[in-house]
């Protein structure tokens, strides 16, 4: 074969090889996990546009914000969807939060409810437990069924509470909790006394759900874009710079701001983030105005306090109890917090704060709800990698010391007899995060007991669950 022909053939083969590599890179698959709002409003349509543009497919795993952040931080997902910014926790610290769209937080009820508009003060007082009957806001004489999603597991709840209370993890007087806004919306459709929060992108055009006006302003794409509707907030895509697929993940995030990406966002009642320069400029003043109107003030998040480097030498049951009392005191902008109880699960002092993550649940005693704070109880679980945890609690005025003594004694008795190990079979749609919450344990513990390398589980898999 002539030398020239050999060289040309070699160049052709090399070029073909490089093209194959480039094609493989361009069609790389990505895994996305996060809240259902970002899944339906941003990622579902964006993934189709992304793939039709010659890129790879996107595997979607919608659940809630916390599960997505955990997955991206742990390496089992490439991109997370988040309806809140970084909380400053150890899990969030190494991740990149990129705002991609503006959405509206909307208060919802049944279409049969005659109430059509609420003031910000009324919304604040409903969640705070001061308003408990629809007649207090011009409706029927019927108790309010306040629904919520556990925060900060859900970014929608976190963002609303941040606006109304100055703290995303603020406990609220909501007797019924859901794992995500989809389940909450389904319950609202069936209950004429219901009240809850979701997003404009989730329920726009849904005739089975009534969106309430705020101070007379209806939540619409145009009122969100102009800032006249006050409860606007960003949606984020979250990536891990140290991930093997970091470059492809960033390319997907950048695609959301392309003309094709912006078209997808607008088709789902969202405002592209870069098109909301007015909202960016007015965000800080808007937050201050809302807090001033409802009589609240901004305060630090528990997850931020737990993750602060200066707290390393102070992480102990006693110091966390003091932190819980301080957090309660910080919320005392009204005289009706005497019935608030707080419980904190604390870990032994770690040598570092790597792997710290927080989870907050809120419940209330519906039978005792009145003009007080409805005796809200807030449980905060803080875990350090695979460490076991010991529980301490703080209570309001009264018999706090006696209650602590009795609880400590009961735990001592309970710990003397080790509970038997259980097994659990993974059901369809479940994640390691939801299974851990169901059994009252940590994700890290389940991984340790079952020798799991990451947070991935499959339907039908049998897991070992030990008692705390």
CB within 8 Å of 397: residues ≥ 6 apart? 338
Using an 8 Å Cβ cutoff, are 63 and 455 in contact?
A: no
CATH superfamily of the domain spanning 422-465: LysM domain (3.10.350.10)
Q: Where are the alpha helices (DSSP H) in 115-166?
A: 120-128, 155-165
104-167+178-232+281-290 belongs to CATH 1.10.600.10 = no
Distance CA 189, CA 194 (A): 8
What pLDDT score does 92 carry? 84
CATH topology agreement for domains 25-102+236-276 and 422-465: no
Domain borders along the chain are 25-102+236-276, 104-167+178-232+281-290, 302-416, 422-465
Please name which of 460, 455, 453, 457 lies closest in space to residue 80, comparing C-alpha atoms. 455
Tokens of 417: 């007899």
Consecutive sets of 10 residues in the chain, 468 residues long: mean pLDDT of each? Answer: 43 39 56 92 94 92 88 94 86 91 97 96 95 96 92 80 91 86 92 96 94 97 97 96 93 95 96 94 95 89 42 32 38 36 32 36 37 36 33 36 42 45 83 77 82 82 83
Packing angle of the helix pair 155-165, 277-294 (nearest 10 deg): 60
Using an 8 Å Cβ cutoff, are 211 and 200 in contact?
A: yes
How does strand 30-35 pair with strand 210-211? unpaired
**Residue 293, SS3?**
helix
Q: Where are the alpha helices (DSSP H) in 129-241?
A: 155-165, 181-190, 200-203, 221-226
Tokens of 344: 């904190």
Architecture of domain 25-102+236-276: 3-Layer(aba) Sandwich (3.40)
Please name which of 124, 115, 120, 101 lies closest in space to residue 221, comparing C-alpha atoms. 101
DSSP letter for each residue of 297-355: -----HHHHHH-GGGGGG-SHHHHHHHHHHHHHHT-SSS--TT-EEEEEEPPPPS--TT
Distance CA 83, CA 42 (A): 11
pTM for the model stands at 0.62
Strand partners, 196: 108
Category of 355 on φ-ψ map: left (φ > 0), alpha (ψ -120 to 50) or beta:
left
Distance (Å) of CA 462 to CA 65, 270, 458, 467: 25, 41, 9, 16
């Amino acid at each position: 074969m002539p030398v020239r022909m050999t060289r040309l053939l070699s160049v052709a083969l090399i070029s073909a090889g490089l093209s194959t590599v480039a094609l493989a890179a361009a069609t790389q698959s990505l895994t996305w996990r996060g809240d259902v709002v970002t899944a339906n409003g941003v990622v579902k349509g964006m993934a189709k546009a992304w793939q039709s543009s010659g890129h790879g497919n996107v595997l979607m795993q919608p659940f809630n914000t916390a599960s997505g952040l955990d997955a991206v931080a742990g390496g089992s997902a490439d991109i997370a969807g988040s309806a809140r910014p970084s909380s400053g926790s150890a899990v969030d610290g190494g991740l990149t939060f990129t705002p991609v769209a503006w959405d509206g937080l909307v208060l919802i009820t049944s279409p049969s409810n005659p109430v059509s508009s609420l003031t910000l003060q009324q919304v604040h007082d409903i969640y705070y437990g001061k308003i408990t009957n629809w007649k207090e806001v011009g409706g029927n004489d019927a108790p309010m069924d306040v629904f919520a999603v556990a925060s900060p597991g859900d970014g929608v709840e976190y963002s609303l509470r941040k606006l109304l209370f100055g703290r995303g993890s603020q406990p609220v007087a909501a007797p019924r909790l859901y794992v995500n806004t989809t389940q909450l919306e389904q319950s609202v459709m069936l209950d004429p006394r219901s009240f809850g929060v979701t997003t404009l992108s989730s329920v726009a055009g849904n005739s089975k759900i009534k969106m309430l006006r705020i101070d007379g302003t209806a939540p619409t794409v145009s009122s969100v874009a102009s800032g006249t509707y006050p409860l606007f907030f960003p949606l984020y895509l979250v990536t891990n710079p140290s991930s093997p697929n970091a470059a492809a993940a960033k390319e997907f995030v950048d695609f959301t701001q392309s003309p094709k990406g912006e078209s997808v966002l607008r088709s789902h009642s969202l405002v592209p983030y870069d098109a909301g320069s007015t909202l960016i400029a007015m965000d800080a003043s808007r937050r201050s105005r809302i807090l001033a109107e409802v009589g609240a003030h901004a305060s630090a998040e528990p997850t931020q306090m737990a993750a602060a480097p200066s707290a390393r030498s102070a992480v102990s049951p006693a110091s966390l109890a003091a932190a819980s009392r301080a957090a309660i005191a910080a919320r005392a902008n009204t005289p009706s917090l005497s019935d608030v109880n707080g419980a904190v699960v604390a870990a032994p002092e770690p040598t570092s704060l790597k792997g710290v993550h927080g989870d907050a649940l809120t419940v209330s005693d519906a039978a005792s709800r009145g003009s007080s704070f409805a005796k809200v109880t807030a449980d905060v679980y803080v875990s350090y990698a695979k460490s076991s945890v010991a529980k301490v609690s703080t209570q309001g005025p009264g018999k706090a010391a006696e209650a602590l003594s009795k609880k400590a004694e009961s735990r001592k008795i309970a710990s003397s007899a080790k509970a038997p190990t259980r097994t659990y079979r993974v059901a369809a749609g479940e994640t390691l995060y939801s299974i851990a919450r169901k059994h009252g344990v940590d994700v890290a513990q389940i991984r340790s007991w079952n020798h799991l390398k990451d947070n991935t589980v499959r339907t039908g898999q049998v897991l070992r669950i030990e008692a705390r």
